Amino acid sequence: MIRTIVVVGMLLLGAGAVMAQQEIAVKQDNLMRAQAKSLYGVIQKTVKGEIPYDQKAIDNAIAQLEQTVPTIPTVFATNPKEDVVNSTYGSSQKIWQNKADFDSKVPPVAKAIADVKGTIKDGASLKVAYESINSKCTDCHETYRLKLK
Ligand code: HEC
């Protein structure tokens, strides 16, 4: 009887741990998706002329990026050791082997955002801002993001 309880308890603990890890991976992925919504869903689409230039939407997107980008090192503090189910991109294990280097890829993104803030007035200045920010996002992705499919 006691043995059964212990075994069931251990199974439940195991399931809990797996769920917690998936939650961590989802949280990390949600942060990236939120950033993508601003940078690609609003800014890049405006640059490409797919949506009309809307100063308020641009300013909101920049403000959202300014707030969320500095949280990357904390949100990626724990290694979930698994990918989000069915996701296109995953985290390289290198992140947690070189966490300091991973974290060092974040301030350049924040700086690029700070540098362009207040300079965006039209399509041309938006394009410059987009390219500057995006190149810094890519700097991290090249080393630490894996294409899964
Ligand atoms: C310090 C490293 C780092 C920086 C900086 C970074 N990312 Fe990521 N990004 C990752 C990692 C790792 C993944 C893969 C794991 C994940 O999706 O959470 C990722 C995944 C993504 C994905 C794919 C999400 C999906 O599953 O479809 C998008 C889109 C993305 N990032 C956008 C951005 C944008 C936009 C910026 C810049 C504003 C940015 N990232 C900055 C590390 C970074």
Is 35 a member of any domain?
yes
| Amino acid, single-letter form, for residue 126 | L
Give 81 Cα–ligand 1 centroid separation in angstroms. Answer: 17
Residue 84's CATH number? 1.20.120.10
- What lines the ligand 1 site, CB under 6 Å? 28-29, 32-33, 35-36, 39, 65, 69, 72, 87-91, 95, 102, 105-106, 109, 133, 137, 140-141, 144-145
Distance 32 CA to ligand 1 centre (A): 5
Retrieve residue 97's tokens. Answer: 């082997």
- Residue 116 in any domain: the answer is yes
What is d(CA 131, CA 5) in angstroms, rounded to the nearest whole number?
58
Nearest atom of ligand 1 to the alpha carbon of 35: 35
- Whether the pTM exceeds 0.75: the reply is yes
**Domain range for 84:** 23-147
Of ligand 1's listed atoms, the one at least distance from the Cα of 108 is: 5
User: If pLDDT is split at 50, 70 and 90, which confidence band does 5 have?
Assistant: confident
Q: Looking at residues 73-82, what average pLDDT do you find?
A: 96
Mean pLDDT of all residues in the chain?
Answer: 94
Domain count, the chain: 1
Q: Give the Cα separation of 36 and 43 in Å (integer).
A: 10
Task: Express each pLDDT in 108-121 by its tens digit.
Answer: 999 999 999 999 99
Decide if 80 contacts 21 (C-beta within 8 A).
Answer: yes
